[in-house]
Amino acid sequence: MSRPEIQSITVLGATGSVGTSTLDVISRHDHFRVYALSAHSNTALLLSQCLQFEPQYAVLTDEDAAESLRLQLRKAGSQTEVQWGAEALSRIASDADVDVVMAAIVGAAGLLPALAAAQSGKKVLLANKESLVMAGELFMQAAVASGAVILPIDSEHNAIFQCLPAPAQSARGNLAGQGVRKVLLTASGGPFLHTPVEQLHEVTPAQACKHPNWDMGRKISVDSASMMNKGLEFIEACYLFDLAPEAVEVVIHPQSIVHSMVEYADGSVLAQLGSPDMRVPIAHALAWPERIASGADFLSLVTSPDLQFLAPDLSRFPCLQLGMDAARQGGYAPACLNAANEIAVAAFLAGQIRFTDIPRVISGTLAQITCRQPVSIAMIQQLDAEARAVACDIAAGF
């Protein structure tokens, strides 16, 4: 095999769960050069990452944190230049010197830098599912216009991508024409799959964040417990692969070994299996269309637990229903759903509302926002702000 070319990479959200896994994979290979790293507020971890990977730029959200990091880096003799703020994030995602952008900021804050990468024709490793939920149509259009390659990092979407016919991996659209009948999106069911429904109103943030198979950030962990994560992923799948909602089916698979499947017209079902370790989809996307080592354990099917598949119980998981409804409704609904969910999850994590209030905040918010078609990013941001304000009011009333 010929020696791979050096790839210059920006990791947005470098200090998070996906960000640190990305740097772990990068550190195992010598053909990646880290161009820039970003973090919200964890300056201690960003400092040690800068010293290890020697990026040209490090970006933080606020000025004071940036000044503190700058002083510490200078003291350590580092050449890394520290910047701060939203514009700096978009800059390190779109600079001409960057080949690959890992979009691993959590929540709506990740939209603009991920979009900047898509608009400037980068290879975009997309972990930030909220970008697609909020602005899927505009995001995918931007990628087509610029020639950007969008590679899904969400393990289910990465699995679907791997199971698609090769032409569909390179150009979006017309999956039916290539024999794809539907995609089967697997879901673990999270920590409350078997908890008696009447006990769900008293579960704590610590219980909700204790996922049986995956070690993830707190927001996505709560989303997994409510199954809003699968609702968001349902919407993500529709935009990413240009699928009608009817062509996406959610299947509960508690062992998280089959990461999703694609069913073909002839009755064949292709699945991607692997250890539940995000380094697998990250390594896949970093190397695509080649393969590189990820550091994850290899799967031992003979010693793994029996694989089960169940239909989701939508009365136990109303957030999944809300997500699927928003996908069918389209237009303003996914962006409002996402905003209301972020507010509800933050309120739950702060002990202000109960776990079972999360879907109530979201459905209450959707009912109060006037239906309209978002045709620009500015309009999506306006909808996002409006939905957040309504959701905050509703959450404060519980």
Positions that interact with ligand NAD (CB under 6 A): 13-19, 39-40, 42, 61, 104-106, 109, 127-130, 154, 214, 216-217, 219-220, 278
12, β-bridge pairs = 103
41 annotated as ligand-binding = no
* Part in contact with Mg ion (CB under 5 A); list of ranges 41-49, 58-66, 148-156, 200-208: 148-156
Contacting residue, 95, 154, 223, 386, with Mg ion by CB under 5 A = 154
211 annotated as ligand-binding = yes
One DSSP character per residue, 60-114 reads: ESSHHHHHHHHHHHHHTT--PEEEESHHHHHHHHH-TT-SEEEE---SGGGHHHH
| Alpha helices, DSSP H, located in the chain | 17-27, 43-53, 63-75, 86-94, 111-119, 129-146, 155-163, 166-170, 205-208, 218-226, 228-241, 279-287, 318-329, 333-349, 358-368, 377-396
Residues 6+ apart with CB under 8 A from 205: 218, 222, 348, 349, 351
| Cβ-count burial 72-95 (b if 16+ within 10 Å, e if not) | bbeeeebebebbbeeebbbbbbbb
Q: State the nearest-atom distance from the C-beta of 155 to ligand NAD, in Å.
A: 6
Residues 6+ apart with CB under 8 A from 317: 226, 227, 230
Using an 8 Å Cβ cutoff, are 82 and 60 in contact? yes
Q: Is 7 helix (H, G, I), strand (E, B) or coil?
A: strand
267 annotated as ligand-binding = no
β-strand pairing of 180-187 with 258-264? antiparallel
Residue, CB closest to ligand NAD: 16
In the complex with ligand NAD, which residue's Cβ is closer, 285 or 333? 285
Using an 8 Å Cβ cutoff, are 220 and 313 in contact? no
213 annotated as ligand-binding = no
Cα gap 266→40, rounded to integer Å? 48
In the complex with ligand NAD, which residue's Cβ is closer, 186 or 364? 186
Q: State the nearest-atom distance from the C-beta of 224 to Mg ion, in Å.
A: 8
In the complex with ligand NAD, which residue's Cβ is closer, 184 or 364? 184
17 annotated as ligand-binding = yes
270 interface partner picked from ligand NAD, Mg ion, none, CB below 5 to 8 A per type: none
342 annotated as ligand-binding = no
Give, to the nearest 10 degrees, the angle between helix 358-368 and helix 333-349.
Answer: 140
130 interface partner picked from ligand NAD, Mg ion, none, CB below 5 to 8 A per type: ligand NAD
128 annotated as ligand-binding = yes
42 annotated as ligand-binding = yes
* Part in contact with Mg ion (CB under 5 A); list of ranges 141-149, 152-160, 285-293, 349-357: 152-160
214 interface partner picked from ligand NAD, Mg ion, none, CB below 5 to 8 A per type: ligand NAD
217 annotated as ligand-binding = yes
Residue type for position 220: I
Q: Is 342 in the site for Mg ion (CB under 5 A)?
A: no
Cα gap 151→326, rounded to integer Å? 24
In the complex with ligand NAD, which residue's Cβ is closer, 19 or 190? 19
Q: State the nearest-atom distance from the C-beta of 62 to ligand NAD, in Å.
A: 10
Q: State the nearest-atom distance from the C-beta of 353 to Mg ion, in Å.
A: 24
224 interface partner picked from ligand NAD, Mg ion, none, CB below 5 to 8 A per type: none
Q: Is 236 in the site for Mg ion (CB under 5 A)?
A: no
Q: Is 130 in the site for Mg ion (CB under 5 A)?
A: no
In the complex with ligand NAD, which residue's Cβ is closer, 168 or 220? 220
Binding site, annotated residues for NADPH? 15-18, 42, 128, 130, 217
**Which residues make up the interface to Mg ion (CB under 5 A)?**
154-156
